[in-house]
Chains A and B, each alone.
Chain A
Amino acid sequence: MVLELQKPRPVWQIMFSTHHTDVGYLYLVFGITFLFMGGVLAMIIRTHLFFPGQGVLVSDSATFNRIFTVHGLTMLFLFALPVANGIGNILVPIMVRYKDMAYPKLNAIAFWMNPVGAALLWLGFADTTWVSYAPYSIIRAPGPAADMFIFGMKILGISSILSSINFVVTIVKCKHPDLPLRRVPLFAWSMLTVSLMTIVAMPTYASALIMMLTDRLGLSGFFNPFAGGDPIAYLHLFWFTFHPEVYIFLLPAIGMMYEIIPRFSRKPLYSQASGVFAFVMLGIIGFASWGHHMYSTGMDFTTKVVFMIGTLAAVPASGMHVFNFLATMWGGRIRFAAPMKFAVGGIALFFSAGAGGVLNSAMPLDFISHGTYWVVGHMHLFLIGTIGFGFVGMIYYMFPYVTGRMYSEKWASAHFVLMFWGTVQTFFTQHLLGLEGMPRRVYDYPTEFTSWTQLNQISTIGAWMIGASFAIFLASLIYYSAKGKEANMDDPWGIGGKYYYPVAAKNPHGGHSGY
């Protein structure tokens, strides 16, 4: 890695390091590995659903349920969070001009909890779904998988609280005194926002997990209706954490786009202030909408209205990000290198996802959409369309820095075209499947609805295109990090200007624009 390919260091030196860039690489390697593991599961799911009537590939529903559960958990907690933390670790200290993270050892500890959590999730292979609603997760989900899931999530939750504390302290307390907080680059602002949100949101879920565990052991009955508890309480605790958490998954990707778009537009950001404002707004209003996941649980009209308003209130802030991106590009001279392609593709899909989200929040439409493939399509426009595209763009952006070499623009273009087309085909189609009534989390679907079969096949072919695009990605990551042309580290894309942040990290003492 860094230049490790040019000046190799023994691997254990990186593994036992507490330096922020080393911990960052560990996070990145970990996250990218699990992106591919989760991706393999996604391919299994979609291939299986190509035909109705027991499908192909997976021979029983128990296994299938475990596969989509672990796919979801992997992508969210072992890919999205670690990659955000990895890039955050590498860039945030540089952006705030500090020598390292505030607590380097804590940083390494937070990382090393991840493999433990990952092992528990994968060895357990639970079937609870990633939301693990009570009382299924308590009275029916088979152990030890479900118990391993609880401990795995517990560990990952603690890890994310620890790393959040670290980011908050690094940014707020350790930033250079000459650098006012409002001038801190927006990627660092996104990490600050999500870290604060994690610290507020995560403990709720952490305690719900403990209650779930004691319920499973029969010691308590918090969420178990057959022991006097209430499953709805679990849903509230879960979504109080996880609606904000969806912004926690999302905002780092938005922050990465803020890093990429001005660079490749050769233009200053349209408005730093509005970016900061929109992050802070989302960070606050994100806590006002968790009930939109529970419209159909028997919620009364007034409560629904409150949560609908809370949900809609968060939309203008997301809109401001889109506006900021487009206004930044306006009047620039844009180089469409790979990072920019992925960033712009990501904005388009982010917008589609957001429009779908507004529809979701309209209460009556819940009758049509909730619990169907519509939701799967909608959330993946965020998950792969925004987070996936933002992260992949950022990985291409970091590539010259980490390897000292250049990837191939040609293969990166192929990756982009296949992935964009595939994402649209897979997940737009799933919206239609949802409108036709196909429930999500199903192992099989009836043979008599031909349109279900057709739509599923279209969606699956799209998924294969995404799969192929990631095969290209993996191959070029490996090949070009060993064999790529040497990169010009001052200006890898030849876009002019000395404003490539990562270079400062490579060369802390080599006077690049004063960083």
Chain B
Amino acid sequence: MECTSKQQMKTLIAVSIIALVALALIPQIVHAQLAQQTSAKQYINLRAEVWNEFFRMTTAAFTVGAIVSGTMIWLVWRFRESNPKNKAPTKWEHMDDPTAGSYEEEGH
């Protein structure tokens, strides 16, 4: 149980890294192409610059948001006590005060 959740966490992190790298590159490429098309103009197109920046930033925000909220929804679904997989008490529940101190100190 412990192991799988660690593993899942690592997969999740790996997927996130790949997603973020893609995220950083794709808009740059698209942007560069758009910029070539509009380079005939005399002045830089102020509003296009700013709005493009806005869309790059929102893409980043929504990608990270999808990862975080996806994780949250999964966590809520997987670790709710009513999930049949969670019938057995966790190993911390026998302690008198499982929340005193923290994870690393309880010898995890």
Q: Do chains A and B touch in the complex (CB under 8 A)?
A: yes
Q: Does B11 contact A (CB under 8 A)?
A: no
Given A273-B104, A329-B75, A330-B5, answer yes or no on A263-B99 (Cβ-Cβ < 8 Å). yes
Q: How far is the CA of A395 from the CA of B72 in the complex (A)?
A: 23
Q: What is the total number of residues of chain B having a CB less than 8 Å from a CB of chain A? A: 40
Complex interface residues of chain B between 62 and 108 (CB less than 8 A to chain A): 64-65, 68-69, 71-72, 75-76, 79-81, 86, 89-90, 92-93, 95-106
Name A265's contact: one of B5, B57, B79 (CB within 8 Å). Answer: B79
Q: How far is the CA of A330 from the CA of B68 in the complex (A)?
A: 13
List the A side residues contacting B69 at CB < 8 Å: 348, 351
List the A side residues contacting B101 at CB < 8 Å: 183, 268, 272
Q: A335–B49 contact, CB under 8 A?
A: no
Q: How far is the CA of A485 from the CA of B80 in the complex (A)?
A: 25
Name A329's contact: one of B49, B79, B89 (CB within 8 Å). Answer: B79
List the A side residues contacting B100 at CB < 8 Å: 268, 499, 513
Q: How far is the CA of A330 from the CA of B8 in the complex (A)?
A: 10
Q: B79–A322 contact, CB under 8 A?
A: no
Complex interface residues of chain A between 229 and 271 (CB less than 8 A to chain B): 262-263, 265-271
Q: How far is the CA of A268 from the CA of B104 in the complex (A)?
A: 9
Q: Does B1 contact A (CB under 8 A)?
A: yes
Q: A333–B81 contact, CB under 8 A?
A: yes
List the A side residues contacting B71 at CB < 8 Å: 326
Name A358's contact: one of B49, B61, B96 (CB within 8 Å). Answer: B61
Complex interface residues of chain A between 342 and 386 (CB less than 8 A to chain B): 344, 347-348, 351-352, 355-356, 358-359, 362, 364-365, 367-368
Q: Does A177 contact B (CB under 8 A)?
A: no
List the B side residues contacting A498 at CB < 8 Å: 96-97
List the A side residues contacting B53 at CB < 8 Å: 362, 364-365
List the B side residues contacting A265 at CB < 8 Å: 79
Q: Does A332 contact B (CB under 8 A)?
A: yes
User: Contact flags (1/0) for B33-52 with A, using CB distance below 8 Å?
Assistant: 00000000000000001110
Q: Does B58 contact A (CB under 8 A)?
A: yes
Q: A262–B99 contact, CB under 8 A?
A: yes
Q: A267–B1 contact, CB under 8 A?
A: no
Q: B57–A365 contact, CB under 8 A?
A: yes
Q: Does B19 contact A (CB under 8 A)?
A: no
Q: How far is the CA of A364 from the CA of B49 in the complex (A)?
A: 9
Given A331-B2, A497-B97, answer yes or no on A326-B103 (Cβ-Cβ < 8 Å). no
Name A359's contact: one of B5, B57, B89, B105 (CB within 8 Å). Answer: B57
Q: B75–A330 contact, CB under 8 A?
A: yes
List the B side residues contacting A273 at CB < 8 Å: 102, 104
Q: Does B17 contact A (CB under 8 A)?
A: no
Q: A268–B106 contact, CB under 8 A?
A: yes
Complex interface residues of chain A between 156 and 198 (CB less than 8 A to chain B): 183
List the A side residues contacting B93 at CB < 8 Å: 266, 333, 496-497
List the A side residues contacting B81 at CB < 8 Å: 333-335
Q: A332–B79 contact, CB under 8 A?
A: yes
Q: How far is the CA of A513 from the CA of B81 in the complex (A)?
A: 25
Q: Does B14 contact A (CB under 8 A)?
A: no
Q: A331–B106 contact, CB under 8 A?
A: no
Name B79's contact: one of A333, A352, A355, A365 (CB within 8 Å). Answer: A333
Q: A368–B54 contact, CB under 8 A?
A: yes
Q: Does A336 contact B (CB under 8 A)?
A: yes
List the A side residues contacting B95 at CB < 8 Å: 497
Shortest distance in angstroms between B95's beta carbon and chain A's nearest beta carbon?
7
Q: Does B9 contact A (CB under 8 A)?
A: yes
Name A355's contact: one of B64, B90, B99, B104 (CB within 8 Å). Answer: B64
Q: B99–A359 contact, CB under 8 A?
A: no
Complex interface residues of chain A between 272 and 306 (CB less than 8 A to chain B): 272-273
Q: B104–A330 contact, CB under 8 A?
A: no
Q: A332–B99 contact, CB under 8 A?
A: no
Residue of A nearest to B57 (CB): A359
Q: B90–A267 contact, CB under 8 A?
A: yes
Q: How far is the CA of A95 from the CA of B79 in the complex (A)?
A: 28
* 11 chain-A/chain-B pairs, Cβ below 8 angstroms: A268-B103, A271-B104, A330-B79, A332-B79, A336-B76, A344-B72, A347-B72, A358-B57, A358-B61, A496-B93, A497-B98
Which residues of A pack against B, CB within 8 Å? 183, 262-263, 265-273, 322, 326, 328-336, 344, 347-348, 351-352, 355-356, 358-359, 362, 364-365, 367-368, 496-499, 513
Beyond the given A331-B79, A352-B65, could you list 7 further A-B residue pairs with CB under 8 A, ordered by the A residue number?
A: A265-B79, A273-B104, A333-B79, A334-B81, A359-B58, A359-B61, A364-B49
Which residues of B pack against A, CB within 8 Å? 1-2, 5, 9, 49-51, 53-54, 57-58, 61, 64-65, 68-69, 71-72, 75-76, 79-81, 86, 89-90, 92-93, 95-106
What 9 A-B pairs are tightest by C-beta distance, nearest first? A272-B102, A355-B61, A262-B99, A269-B102, A499-B97, A333-B86, A333-B81, A364-B50, A270-B103
